[in-house]
Amino acid sequence: MLRILCFVVATVVSSMTFADVSAVYGFDDRSEEQRYQNLIAELRCPKCQNQNIADSNSPISKDMRNAVYQMMLEGASDQEIVDSLVGRFGEFVKYKPDLDSRTFMLWATPAIAVLGGLIVVAGIVVRSRRTGTAAPTLSAEEQARIDKMLAEKNRNGSA
C-alpha cells in the first residue's frame, strides 16, 4: 500500500512542470504580461534613432518601461498610461497618431485613394460601354491582306 502511495506521489510530483521564472517585469497574469509587451511596443524612445521603448537600451527607455509597469500595477488603463507619458514627453512618444483635425488627412488617405480609384474604374467601364465597340472589324481588303501574310508566315515557318 505504502509503495503504491509512494509511486502515486512520485508520479504526481514529477509531472508537475517546473515553477516558471518571473518576467523581468512580473505580472500575475500572462495576459497582463502580453498587455505590457503591447504597450511598450507602441511607445517611442524620445532619444533614440526610431526605436520603441521595448527594444531600446537607453536609460530614458528603461525609466519609461518602469513607469509603464508601475502604472499597470496601480491599475491604470492603456489610455491613462499613454496619456501620462505623453503629458511629460509630448505626443512624439506615441507611435499611433491621434485622429484629430491635423491627422485627418493621414487616416483618410487609404480610404480616399481606394474610393477614388474605384470611381475612376467604374467610370472607365461605363464610358467604354457607351463609346466602345465590341471588337474591331476588318474590311474585306484588310482581311485578304492578313490571310496572305499568315499564309506567307506559315510557309516560312515550316521551311
Binding residues for another protein (CB under 8 A):
17-18, 20-26, 33, 37, 41-42, 44, 46-47, 49-52, 54-55, 57, 59-60, 63, 67, 86-97, 102-103, 105-107, 109-110, 113-114, 117-118, 120-121, 124-125, 127-129, 131-136, 148-149, 152, 156
* Smallest separation (angstroms) from another protein to the CB of 6: 22
Whose cell is 497618431? That residue is 97
Give Cβ neighbours of residue 19 (< 8 Å, ≥ 6 apart): none
* Smallest separation (angstroms) from another protein to the CB of 158: 13
Give Cβ neighbours of residue 89 (< 8 Å, ≥ 6 apart): 46
* Smallest separation (angstroms) from another protein to the CB of 4: 25
Q: Which set of grid coordinates corresponds to residue 67? A: 513607469
Residue in 34, 24, 31, 25 with CA at minimum distance from that of residue 71: 25
* Smallest separation (angstroms) from another protein to the CB of 75: 20
Select 90 or 143, whichever has its Cβ closest to another protein. 90
Task: Identify the burial level of 43 via C-beta atoms within 10 angstroms of its C-beta, where 0-12 means exposed, 13-18 middle and 19 or more buried.
Answer: buried
Select 109 or 143, whichever has its Cβ closest to another protein. 109
